[in-house]
Structures are given as structure tokens and as C-alpha cells.
Structure 1
Amino acid sequence: MVGVFFLIICWFRRTSLWKNKSKAQQDFEAILKSHGSLATKRYSYLEIKKMTHCFKEKLGQGGYGSVFKGKLHDKCPVAVKVLKETKGNGEEFMNEVASISKTSHVNIVTLLGYCFEGSKRALVYEFMTNGSLEKFIFQNEADLVEDNLQLSCEILHQIAVGVARGLEYLHRGCNIRIFHFDIKPHNILLDENFYPKISDFGLAKICPRNESVVSMLGARGTIGYIAPEVIYRNFGAVSHKSDVYSFGMMVLEMVGGRRNANVNVDDTSEIYFPHWIYKRLELDEDLALRSIRNEGDKERIKQMVITSLWCIQTNPAERPMMNKVVEMLEGRVETLQFPPKPYLFSPSRSPCPSSPSTLIP
């Protein structure tokens, strides 16, 4: 009798688990169907294990899971992102596959394949030799003894222009509009020549080309890069201008080589970096940044800073479109108008009404 009861319990648990997996599978297939057929290849979990040599070489790790280096059958190197099994119904995974598979641009990372097998989920990307931008701009002075990881102003400018072009494409260049909502150094990957590619579309929102405003139940993004309107809706509608804000904050960090919300000046107090750099420009003072080595560097950095300060205007309507941002970065610094002093929004000092789970660090 006990044996029969045990078999019934096992059958019930397996049936419930099958239903849950079936629901997730149905949701995924529905998303794929709603966005049309995908050219992206679907891999089995066994194939994922083979291409990563059983996950031998880890490239990085985050809240989403881990990234491993792998090789396809033709020996082409790839980066394989394996998501944690605790990601619920896999909404972010489905979102990423549906959005990034619709893109084709030199400044957007290429999704080569994916795996959706029960609770096993993985994404196969082109391999980017230099990894993320983050490791090149957030360094301690002790790490710069040989000065081999510090990017020149010319390279920083090249990266800023490339990311701007990628965002311009997402907002206006493809057959759907994609709002990324998580632009930050960690999500910018660099190839062997330091040309940038936007990655990680787990928080992206997709909408028709004729729409520019999206609705969201809660905030999404990473503290320090989130536009004010994404957290407090009375600042304005959530739109592509939210990505413009994040881009501006990121470029300021590239210029300063430090996180915007955690800068010590004269070892006296914590200063919000956009405040500090705006004041320097306002008083026409030397920016005194370690990356500046000649007059050409000064011009490039000033150009990036002025453009960034326009991008982080609190009112979304005052921020430029990304095509205008590209023009500002590629034009002459003398033609740039000095931005009005924005109400510089510091998330580190502002209470966030959204639950921590809606903010993806």
C-alpha cells in the first residue's frame, strides 16, 4: 500500500512539473510566433555542453548566470551565456531572443543561437575579444602601473560614437523599435579593435515603429543609469529618451574613469560626478582628467562631456534624439551649445519607490 501511495505522489509531482515546463515552453513559442520566424539556430543543451567543453572556461558572472567561452563546429569562438535555473518563466530570456534576433548592425552584438530545453536556457553570442567596457574604465590607480589598460581619448570617443550609432539603429533603424533600458559599461562589449557592440537585451521593450512611448508596471534598469521618468512618472513619459539618459551617464563615466555616484574630491565628501564636471565647464576650468594628454584630447573630452550633459537633462523633451547625439559627437566642438544646468538626478541620494527586484544591478 505504501509503495502504491509513493508511486501516486511521484506521478503527481512529475505531472505538475511537466505542466509548468509545458506552460513556459508555450509562452516561449508564442513569443517567437508573435515576432515571426527566427533565423537564429536552436541548440540542445548537450550541444551547449560540447561547445563549451563542459563549461570549462568562464568569462564572467552576474545576477543572470555565467558566461563561458566556446567554439562552434567550424572552430569559430563564441560566448555562451547560461542563465540560472531560478529565472522563473524565463521572461528576460524570451525577451532577449525575440528582440536581438531582429537586429543586424555593426554596433549590436550578434546572437548566433539559443537553447531552451526544460529549465536549461542559454544564449550563444559572437565572441568579443576585449570583453566589456567596464573593466577598462573602472580601475584603481594601482592597476595602471603599466598603463596598458587605460583607453586613449581617441578610443573613448570611438566607443561613444559606436554606441550612439547602435542606439540610433535600435530606435529608428530596424523594422521595429527597441528600447534597451540597460545601457551601461558592463553591457558594452569591445572587439579586438575596441569597436563597441551593445549587448544584453533582457530588459528591452519592443514596440511598433510608429510608437515612441511605452508603458511599464515598474522601474527597470541599473541604479546610476536609470532616467528619472522611469522611476518617477511625473518627470515625463517613458520612451526612447530614457536610453538617451543612460547613454549620457555612461559616457560621463567613460570620461571620468569613475562611477558617477561615487566620487571623492579632495577626500572631503562624496560628490556626484555630473555636478563636479558641469561646474568645471561652467567656470571654464581645466577638467584635470587622467586621460587627457594633449590639446586634441581636450577637444574630444569636452565634446563628449557637453553632449552627455545634454543627454542627462531631467526633462526628456530637452534631451536630443540619438541621431542628433551622433551629429554632436562627430561635429566640431565649437558648434555645440552649452547645455542649461539640469536638475541633476542622483539615484544614490533619491529614494526609489520601486521594489529592489525591479532594478537589475
Structure 2
Amino acid sequence: MYRCVIVSIILYSVLSRTTLSSYVDPHYLACEPQTCGNQSIRYPFYIQGKQQPFCGYPGFAISCDSNGFLILSLSNTPYIIHQIFYHNQSLRVSNAAFSSANNTNTPDSCISAAHNLTLPPTSTFNLVHQNNHKDIVLFFGCNLSSMPLELLDYRIGCSEATNKTDGSVLALYKDDVKTVSLVSKSCGTGGEVVDAVVEESEGVGIEEKLRRGFMLNWTASDCKLCNSTGGRCGFNSTIFTFQCYCTDRIHASKCVISDGRSKASMMMGLALGLAAAVTLLLVMVTLYYTRWKKQNSKHLLVDAFLERHGHLQIKRYSYSDMKKVTNSFKNKLGEGGFGSVYKGQLKDGRHVAVKILSELKGDGEDFINEVVSMSRTSHVNIVALLGFCFQGSKQGLVYEFMPNGSLEKLLSDENDVIGDRQLDYQTLYDIAIGVAKGLEYLHKGCNTRILHFDIKPHNILLDENFCPKISDFGLAKVCTRKESMVSISGTRGTAGYIAPEVFSRNFGVISHKSDVYSYGMMVLEMVGRRRNIKTEVDASSETYFPYWIYNRLVSNQELGLQSISNEFDNEKVRKLTIVSLWCIQTNPSNRPSISKVVEMLEGRVELLQLPPKPFWFSPSASP
């Protein structure tokens, strides 16, 4: 009690003195860097409404919309800033009318008319690599019913998705004078003509180029010297002069503090340091107590659940049992954010994998999900959970041992031979069917329907015969067989494999079709491993792989994968590709059920129809 009083007195005394003796220039405080979305905003830019104009250079005002996107106005037209590169004074922007940030690449949304983009030679912003850009002309509000059929190929946006003939949007290269002239005559006076600019990129269509945008660089006063001396840059637009805002006052180009002020600042720093240390100590004690109380409540919740489900058909181990099984955790197989995995052996001689969890996540839901979901499953393509440990702060799970590791390791291996088995497309095809049958069992074969929500190569394990088994049910959702949709809080899964409706309900309801999407992305990754793509294909690596392979299928071109050695392999790969493209359709209702997926994979390739052209993909999943 007395110690707490003494600490409080010291803290009050130090804070009082530093408050009286410290002074920080208001311009310095006002120009603290801000964030919008995941981007840091600093000089020469400033956010309107959050920062003062003197914090940025004239003409560099930007806004942050409600979705966390940066908006820059060029020629009275809003442009979305995708990324700012301060080191070389450049940024990537795209017209808001075309940007994927506005969901204009979804089949249900239309591209609205945009103003022409004009960048005068004296403009603050200029195109990077002028010779790498091409001018685009767009025609809005055209009626195609009386136009030649070949003009339909130039439609973009929702006009292409819905086969509309009125109010269509056409995009052409401006140097294609003949076609531009034909469209101008056919479109008549009812349409609106807009000019735009795109960067050249081999293998990418006009619509995708418009969404990607282009690079601009800027010219403004250099800020490096001010930053390096601890200042924050700004600009006095009244006298049109750069200024360096420092803690003491405004300087011309860099911060310079006098000797007297240096001594005062040093004393102030020591006082602030002491106050910070005392505050940190109090915070640490508070956090430790809060964490202990929270962890204790988590364990009480899990214990209560296990008491209610005492009939679980798996063994409960003590922590000492786990140590004996793993020989005191000597043989570590792997490590991750969840904890560590060790190889062990049961009394009957069976080898097992023992996962020791580092801590309970959330309220223990992941641990409960794993135990409940897997204790109810028994299938050749589902990893068997043999037991669990929950003793105080120690939690662990005991699985059957998978000697060939994960599918992720298999796909990243540089050799074509794994053990004594040749890694070919027949093996990948068998793995794809096995995973599909495992998912079919989870969706239809259990008494309850289990949705996995984290299908990816890392969670597919392979036994000694390369039979695939689905693992890691920490994010699973158990529901009744009658439920056609489920309700979850937040986003579940791994970036690149998450179905669109899981992170945005605007795409549809969450259901078993969400697992189908993740499965499709995984199979595409199996087909399109980068080391299997020939040199001429690799040159177009900027093209998103599903979009590229779809175009190949439509035009009946060779798939360009090195491991395809015969017609039999080609048939397997074509079947896997068509099925996976069906699985990753944006609208969940357009995806097949996993039972239909199994039927398609085991059927004849001639009976498979190509899915509609893909409209939406996640750039983060690009190979």
C-alpha cells in the first residue's frame, strides 16, 4: 500500500514538472503522420479534414473515404491511390470508375462514366515511363443492337456480364483508328466519349489494365534533411516556401536547437523517461493480472465443456502421458503460431504426431472445435484425432502420424521424386479426388454437417501411400444437416483461399460452398506450380494464373506445363482445371456442391463444360 502511494507521488511530481517546463510547437504536433487503410500519409500529402494544409505541398490534398481508400483528385476526377512510394516520389493510381476498390470488377456492378484524364506538361504529377503507356477511348451509353457483331468483343463491365445491348460500355485502344471510327459512327450522339490512359502489360486485357491503373511521379520540395534532424515537413502557401516544423519552432530546412535549449530538453527527456518507466511498470502489473484472470476464465469454460461432453470417443491424456509418448519432446516435426508438433509413439507401437498448443486463442473456441469436430469423424481422407490433453495451462492434441508431411511441402519441393515415388499429375489427381471425398464426408457423411473454413495445402497431410487427409479443424463450424447457410463472426481462413462471401456478405451467404471455393483455389495451385510453367509462360507472370489458364482453355491452346508428358496427363490436368474454375465462381450459387465436384472429377472430360469467364479474383493469391 505504501509503495503504491510513493509511486503515485513520484509520478505526479515528475509529470507536473515536465508539463510546466515542456513546450512543443503546434505546427509540429499538427503535422504528425496519419494513416488511411494500411498506408502512412505524410508530406507532401495531407488528408483533408484530418491535417492542416500547411502540412503538405499545394495540390497534394487527398481524402480518406469510409472504406479506408485514399482518393486523389486529378483534373476534377477522383482517383484511388493504391500505394505511395516516398523513396522515389511515385504512386500508383486508378480511376475510381474502374478500380476494383469500388467493386467495379464484379458482375453486378457497372462502370460509370468518367471524366477525361488530362495531365498538362506543367502538372505536379506526371506519368512514369511515358513510352510505356497507351491511350484508351471509352464509349458510354451505346446501343449495340444495330452495331456489327464484332464490336461485342470490346464490351467491358456489367454490359459484358449481362449481355446488355443498350447502355453498353466499349473500350478501345485510341491508335486503332479504324475500329474507333466505326464505333463513333455506330454509337451516334447518344453516347458519351471519354479518354483514359493505361500501362502496357503483356497478356492483360483493357478492363484489367484500367483497374490496375498507372504510375505517376511528383515534384515537390525535398523533405529528407528536415526528417533526418527530427522535424516534420510543411509548406507556407502564403509566401510559397518550404518549412521544417521542429519541436521548438519553425525552421527553414532542418531542426537546430541551441545549447540552452539542448540542456533543458535533456532534462525534460530524463524526466519523461522516468515517468514512462513508472507508468510502464504499473501497466505491466495491470496487464499481467488481467491476462491471468482472462486465461483462468478460458480454462474454466473449456473444462465445463469437456465435463458436458464426457462421452467423447477419444482418449484424454495427462501432460505426463504426453511427455512419455514423445520421449520428453525430443523429435520436433515443426513449429508455428499455434505451438509445436512432435513425433511420438504409443504403447501399441503406433507412431503419432503430438501438437502442443502455446496458448488458448480467443475463449478456447479453436481447441473445442478441433476436439468436437474430429472426435465425430471417421474417414480415410480425414486425419484421425486419437486423443487430447487439457491440464491447467497445458493443452495438446494427438493425431495419427503422416510420414509424407503436408501437400504444401510436396508442392514446394524442387525434386520430382518424393521418396521412391515419382511426383506426376496422376498423383496430384488422386490427391485432389481424395480431398474432395473427405470434404464430401464432412458436408454430407456425418450426423452433423462440418464446414472446415481453412482448406489449403498446409492442412492436407499425406500418409505413406500419399493418401490425402484433411487436418486442422480449429476454424471449423459444426451445424445441423438441415442448415443451408451458417452465421459466423468475423473472417475465417487464410488469405488467397477465403471465399468472397466469407469476408464480405455482399457476395452471398456463407455455406458449404465456401469450402468448395477454398478447394478450387487449392487445386489450381496444384496445377499451376511455378516450377512447372514453361519459360514463354513465365514471361507473363503478371497475369493472374486462373485468368491466364481460363483463356488457354477457351482457345484450346496447350497449357504450357512442363510435367505434362502425354495425352493422359493432359486429360487429367484439363479436368482438374475446369472443375477448379467452377469451384472459384464468385457467386456461391454458381459453384457445384462437393458431391458434384467428385462426380465431375471421376467422369469423362468431354462431358465437362467450361464455366463462365471469371470476374473476381484475389491478387494476393497470384502464383
TM (norm. structure 1) is 0.85
Q: State the 1:64 CA deviation.
A: 1.1
Q: Give unpaired runs (5+ residues) of structure 2.
A: 3-286
Question: 1:144 matched to which residue of 2?
Answer: 415
Which structure has the bigger radius of gyration? Answer: 2
Question: 1:117 matched to which residue of 2?
Answer: 391
**CA separation of 1:316/1:113 partners in 2, compared to 1, >3 Å: closer, same or farther?**
same
Q: State the 1:110 CA deviation.
A: 0.3
Compare 26-35 and 323-332 and name the one that shifted more: 26-35
Question: 1:300 matched to which residue of 2?
Answer: 572
CA contact (8 A) 1:303 1:333 kept: yes
Give the 5 Å matches for 1:72-151.
Answer: 72-85=346-359, 87-139=361-413, 143-144=414-415, 151=423
Question: 1:359 matched to which residue of 2?
Answer: none
Instruction: Spell out, residue by residue over 1:322-357, the C-alpha distance to the aligned partner (whole angstroms, 9 max, x if none).
Output: 11000000000011111111213215289xxxxxxx
| 1:210 corresponds to 2:476 | no
Which residue identity is paired with 2:313? A
Q: State the 1:271 CA deviation.
A: 2.5
Which residue identity is paired with 1:208? T
CA contact (8 A) 1:31 1:98 kept: no
Question: 2:314 matched to which residue of 1?
Answer: 40
Residue number among 138, 160, 164 corresponding to 2:432 in the alignment: 160
CA contact (8 A) 1:21 1:118 kept: no
Question: 1:311 matched to which residue of 2?
Answer: 583
Which residue identity is paired with 1:237? V
Question: 2:443 matched to which residue of 1?
Answer: 171
Determine helix, strand or coil for the equivalent of 1:277. helix
Compare 163-172 and 85-94 and name the one that shifted more: 85-94
Q: State the 1:17 CA deviation.
A: 8.5
Determine helix, strand or coil for the equivalent of 2:378. coil
Q: State the 1:236 CA deviation.
A: 0.1
Question: 1:356 matched to which residue of 2?
Answer: none
Q: Number of aligned residue pairs: give it.
A: 334
Which residue identity is paired with 1:289? L
Distance 1:35 1:325 in 2: 35
Q: State the 1:108 CA deviation.
A: 0.5
Q: State the 1:35 CA deviation.
A: 5.9
Q: State the 1:145 CA deviation.
A: 7.4
**CA separation of 1:268/1:181 partners in 2, compared to 1, >3 Å: closer, same or farther?**
same
**CA separation of 1:101/1:118 partners in 2, compared to 1, >3 Å: closer, same or farther?**
same
Give the 5 Å matches for 1:9-88.
Answer: 23-32=297-306, 37-85=311-359, 87-88=361-362
Residue number among 547, 559, 565 corresponding to 1:275 in the alignment: 547
CA contact (8 A) 1:311 1:320 kept: yes
| 1:338 corresponds to 2:605 | no
Which residue identity is paired with 2:547? H
Question: 2:520 matched to which residue of 1?
Answer: 248
Determine helix, strand or coil for the equivalent of 2:334. strand
Distance 1:150 1:33 in 2: 48
Distance 1:243 1:121 in 2: 28
CA contact (8 A) 2:338 2:359 kept: no
Structure number with the higher strand fraction is: 2
Between 1 and 2, higher relative CO (CA 8 Å, sep ≥ 6) is seen in 1
Distance 2:307 2:593 in 1: 31
**CA separation of 1:332/1:80 partners in 2, compared to 1, >3 Å: closer, same or farther?**
same
Distance 2:306 2:360 in 1: 22
Distance 1:220 1:87 in 2: 14
Distance 2:479 2:608 in 1: 32
**CA separation of 1:138/1:145 partners in 2, compared to 1, >3 Å: closer, same or farther?**
closer
**CA separation of 1:271/1:31 partners in 2, compared to 1, >3 Å: closer, same or farther?**
farther
Q: State the 1:29 CA deviation.
A: 3.8
Distance 1:251 1:59 in 2: 26
Instruction: Spell out, residue by residue over 1:232-269, the C-alpha distance to the aligned partner (whole angstroms, 9 max, x if none).
Output: 1100001100000000000011111249xxx9954465
Question: 2:283 matched to which residue of 1?
Answer: none
Distance 1:227 1:264 in 2: 31
Compare 233-242 and 249-258 and name the one that shifted more: 249-258
CA contact (8 A) 1:52 1:80 kept: yes
Determine helix, strand or coil for the equivalent of 1:144. coil
Distance 2:406 2:557 in 1: 32
Distance 1:286 1:268 in 2: 15
Q: State the 1:55 CA deviation.
A: 1.1
TM (norm. structure 2) is 0.51
Q: State the 1:132 CA deviation.
A: 0.5
Identity %: 63
RMSD: 2.7
